[in-house]
Amino acid sequence: MADTSEQIIEVRDVDYSRGRLEIFKGLNINIRRGDVTAVMGPSGTGKTTLLRLITRQIVPDRGHILIDGVDIGKLNLKDLYRLRRRFGVLFQNGALLTDFSVFENVAFPLREHTKLPNRLIRHVVLTKLHAVGLRGAADMMPGQLSGGMARRVALARAMVMDPDILIYDEPFVGLDPISMGVIVRLVRKMNDALGITSILVSHDVQEIASVADCSYLISNGKVAASGSPTELKNTQSKLVQQFMHGMADGPVAFHFAAPDYEEQLLGRDVEQ
Amino acid sequence: MFRDLYITLKEFLRTFGAMQLFFLRLLSNSPSIFVKRFNLVVHQVHNAGALSLVIIMVCGLFVGGVLGLQGHANLSKFNAEDSVGTFAAFSLIKELGPVITALLFAGRAGTALASEIGLMKVTDQLAAMEMMAINPLRRVLVPRFLGGVIAMPLLVAVFTTVGLFGAHLVGVSLMGVDAGAFWQQMRSTLEMGDIYEGIVKSIVFGIVASLYAVWEGYNAIPTAEGVGRATTRTVVLTAIAVLILDFMITAVSI
């Protein structure tokens, strides 16, 4: 275990449940400064919920989440918003503001938070758009963009305030191989060039293997395994093996919990 | 059955209370947004007001025209057709102007607001703003609320004016009422109090219609059906609230 000062985010013994459904039970995760950390897990394990906990869109039932040693559960609204300025979040679908052009979308956080002159804003925005290769699309509207382009614009917007921590929620879903490769390279490039910390939520094992320094596999509300992607691939655990190699059946059953098949087809479960 | 009634009542009170709190939050943020982000408010006044102008003016013209026809037809039974102007002015300024404008506003601007905000929620735009440390209440909701509140009295004024013009067109130009009598009777019977009543109504309806639109949009269930339902509820609830409040204000001011 590394020295604690290297940890930028610590999730300690977190429990979280939605209604009766228990999502996390005693979850512990440490995210090291400057790393690309991947959070993996089968669908429905609460990966997105974890991101929402880290950014305090929701509050855990028990346990603490520390960012730079500060418990975010204790912040008031003003400090919370100040903290959020250190985050850049890339939403699954981009979440671009549909009324604004690509340029205005990227400029949006700058216009809201700073009083920079227009010339400087233009300069910063064009730089960020150039970094994601979409300087030429500055005047387009979000509706005219493909899924991959929208996500790159969202990435430019997430970076525009120069955050310390960039969070990607399922950045590879539904992308063609070329766009996927572009995003994978961007994640790594941004992380190293800007010296930030990146958190990736995904279940695309191959992509994660090529980009992450460290990954956590979450299952049943806990961390099932952690380590570098190569370490994970070589683990003996059946669950990890099933996930890393994409096998249909194993500890994570293919079937969602259901009554007995035969009984149900014969209609006996209704009579009871 | 009593249990169902109890649950319904509890749910109603909870929603009602939440709405009051929401209203207070809107109000407490309004002054600073009005001063610091005046351009956002102006933009929303344009959206809710200027873009509703055509429908308001067309409806106003025809409502005034009907008042001219009905007024003339019925007042002439008492040889009082010269009072068409007074009749139209009282109806328009005190009742029809504020009420019909509010109903049209709910249908045109209210639905647009509710569905816009609802869709912003569905597509994670509000969550994204929150993650950019921008409070959606201040950036999205308050300007739209203020825009509606400011636009409504202006629209009522336009509706009433065009309505009077329509009544004049029918009563004087078509039915041959004397123009001097039309305006003079109106001037001598109409008091400032009547106009104030209309103004008070227009402000109250503006607040109610904008509040419902913003509230329903913000609390829409983030699905296609949820947004659809929010839009419908905006129109229905605004219509009910406006008619009830109209009765109450009239009862108090008479």
Q: ipTM of the predicted structure?
A: 0.76
User: Which residues on chain A are in Cβ contact (under 8 Å) with B125?
Assistant: 95-98
Q: How far is B40 from chain A (nearest CA, A)?
A: 12
Predicted pLDDT at A1: 42
- Judged by DSSP in three states, B136 sits in helix
Residues facing residue A64 across a β-bridge: A12
Task: For B138, name the nearest residue in chain A, comparing CA atoms only.
Answer: A112
In chain B, the residue whose alpha carbon lies closest to the alpha carbon of A160 is: B132
CB contact under 8 A, B134 and A55: no
Token pair recorded at residue A57: 């869109």
B134/A85 Cβ within 8 A: no
B191 pLDDT more than 70: yes
Considering CB atoms only, which of B127, B134, B139 is closest to A95?
B127
What is the C-alpha separation between A160 and A107, in angstroms, rounded?
Answer: 8
Question: Which stretches of chain A score pLDDT less than 50?
Answer: 1-4
Test A95 with B130 for CB contact under 8 angstroms. Answer: no
- pLDDT tens for B192-204 read 999 999 999 999 9
Q: What are phi and psi of A165, to 5 degrees?
A: -130, 125
pLDDT at A5: 60
Q: Which chain B residues have a beta carbon less than 8 Å from that of A57?
A: 127, 130-131
CA distance A52 to A57: 5
* B124 → chain A, closest CA residue: A95
Q: Is the pLDDT of residue B16 over 80?
A: yes
Give residue B30's pLDDT.
92
The pLDDT tens digits for B217-227 are: 999 998 999 99
Q: pLDDT digit string (tens) for A168-225? A: 888 888 777 887 888 888 888 888 888 889 998 887 777 787 888 888 888 878 888 8
Nearest by CB to residue A112, choosing from B125, B128, B139, is B139
CA separation for the pair A208, A41 (Å, rounded): 12
Enumerate the H helices of B76-178 as residue ranges.
84-90, 97-105, 111-122, 125-131, 136, 142-168
In this structure, what DSSP letter does residue A212 have? Answer: -
Give which of A77, A97, A160 to mutate to test B binding, by max B Cβ within 10 Å: A97
Which pLDDT value is given to residue A272?
Answer: 52
**Average pLDDT for residues B117-143, to the nearest whole number?**
90
Residue of A nearest to B123 (CA): A95
Residues of chain B in Cβ contact (below 8 Å) with chain A: 119-120, 123-125, 127-128, 130-135, 139
Q: Closest to A85 (Cβ–Cβ): which among B124, B128, B133?
A: B133
pLDDT at A271: 59
Rounded Cα distance between B186 and B178, Å, is: 12
Give the pLDDT confidence score for residue A172 in this predicted structure.
82
Whole-number pLDDT of residue A187: 86
* CA atoms B22, A85, A40, A132: torsion sign: positive
Q: Which residues of B fall within a CB distance of 8 Å from A87? A: 131
Report the alpha-carbon angle B47-B53-B58, nearest 5. 150
- The pLDDT tens digits for B4-14 are 899 999 988 99
Q: Tell me if B131 and A87 make a contact (CB, 8 A cut-off).
A: yes
Share of chain B above pLDDT 90, in %: 84
Which of these, A110, A179, A98, A119, lies nearest to A146 by C-alpha position?
A179
CB B155 within 8 A of CB B52: yes
| Sheet bearing A165-169, strands edge to edge | A87-90, A165-169, A197-201, A36-40, A214-219, A222-227
Report the 10 Å Cβ neighbour count for A185. 12
- CA atoms of B44 and B246, how far apart (whole Å): 26
CA-nearest of B243, B231, B234 to B212 is: B234
Instruction: Report residue B51 as tokens.
Output: 């873009």
Contact A89 B124 (CB under 8 A): no
Q: Where are the alpha helices (DSSP H) in A195-260?
A: 205-211, 229-233, 238-245
Q: In what order do the strands lie in the sheet with A70-71?
A: A21-32, A7-18, A62-67, A70-71
Beta bridge partners of A198: A36, A166
Per-residue pLDDT, A2: 43
Tokens describing residue B211: 């509040």
